[in-house]
Amino acid sequence: MELPETLRLAIEDVAERQPRQALERAATSLSAAYRAERGAQSVRAVDSLAAIAAYAVTRLPATFAALTAALTEARERRPAWEPRTLLDAGAGPGVTAWAAEAVWPSLRQATLLERDQRMMTLGTELLAASPPGALEVSWRQVDISSSWGKPTPPPADLVTCAYALNETPEARRADLIARLWAATEPATGALALVAPGTPAGFAIIRLARDQLIAAGAHILAPCPHERACPMPPGDWCHMAQRLARSRLHRQLKGGAAPFEDEKFSYVIAARQPGTPIAARVIRRPVTYSGRVILDLCGPRGLERREITRSQRTAFRAARDARWGSAWPLAIGDEPDASDEDGPSQD
């Protein structure tokens, strides 16, 4: 996955205005903060424009990739839904606006809530240089852990909170999630929550999922059911999205790899159910000659399936399966060789 070209160039413009050494130092301390799971709070703590620019180069593409991947899975389950309004809480530089507009070009108006003035300034500049389609964007500087500010924004078709719940004090999270859900349009709205793909990030998403189901929400993605989450202690449900690293990104990260895999946990809850899926692929499929091993989450819980070449239909589906994608065949009902006609062509 790649950033829109105009956005990538706008980020490079921002970065080029910073002294190179300050940018490199900021990128190094940001990486260390993310490894220690302090996230963008460190951007807040480091009072420098270089830290914001380093965030734009090294983190913005990753959150864009994760958001786009998560929202795309929700769209698959509600293909006829055409949201027009977006409310994004903890917007940072407005990444959700680009990702959501790429997934739903029907979006027309976005309200972005953010407390850090420097993030808002960065976002305003990037949005001016690389407008996301026909989306009209307005910002509001507010602390989302206590309110949305006045006047209360009208309910939005799509409400999002990405990589910000983990920066909200634990004691405030349930209230924030309740307010995010209440901010969705009552007939057809949806709420997307994304967090780092770590045990701590997943724990936040799992609690949010329980809370939303108790409030009457339907889960669009990733879960194929609304039963208790079957993930055992010590394990965590997360997905990975591969994204291209720009040259500047590679230089600041001091790595040669032209890509990275962003790990994320998420849940998308909606007022209306989506078309059902049989199961979700919850790890990277492992492919051997003539067989594919899939780890699936389905209505019976977590299951490992081995699909062999002789199961022609299932084998084709298994070769197309990606970590995070929906699995189309009912688990346990994949036809075996004796149910299929003729020899395999694969």
**Ordered alpha helix ranges (H), 117-261:** 117-129, 170-182, 199-214, 247-253
Q: Which of residues 143-182 bind ligand SAM (CB under 6 A)?
A: 143-145, 162-164, 167-168
> Should residue 63 be labelled a site residue for ligand SAM when binding is judged by CB under 6 A?
yes
Q: Are 222 and 237 in contact (CB under 8 A)?
A: yes
Interaction between residue 115 and ligand SAM (CB under 6 A): yes
Q: Which of 39, 201, 222, 274 binds ligand SAM (CB under 6 A)?
A: 39
**Binding residue for ligand SAM, selected from 1, 30, 40, 52, defined by CB under 6 A:** 40
Q: Is 282 in the site for ligand SAM (CB under 6 A)?
A: no
Query: Does residue 134 contact residue 104 with C-beta atoms inside 8 Å?
Result: no
| Residue 333: count of CB within 10 angstroms of its CB | 10
Angle between helices 170-182 and 199-214 (to 10 degrees): 50
Strands 279-281 and 291-298 come out as antiparallel
Task: Give the contact letters, 117-136, x = binds to ligand SAM (CB under 6 A), - = no.
Answer: --x-----------------
CA dist 262 and 99 (Å) reads 15
Is 42 a binding residue for ligand SAM by CB under 6 A? The answer is no
Indicate the SS3 state at residue 47: coil
* Stretch of residues binding ligand SAM (CB under 6 A), selected from 30-38, 142-150, 221-229, 283-291: 142-150
3-state secondary structure (DSSP) of residue 76: helix
116 binds ligand SAM (CB under 6 A): yes
Strand 279-281 vs strand 136-141: parallel, antiparallel, or unpaired? unpaired
- Piece in contact with ligand SAM (CB under 6 A), picked from 128-136, 138-146, 237-245, 268-276: 138-146
The yes or no reply on residue 12 touching ligand SAM (CB under 6 A) is no
Please give the size of the binding site for ligand SAM, defined by CB under 6 A.
Answer: 20
Q: Binding residues for ligand SAM, per CB under 6 A?
A: 39-40, 63, 90-92, 95-96, 114-116, 119, 143-145, 162-164, 167-168
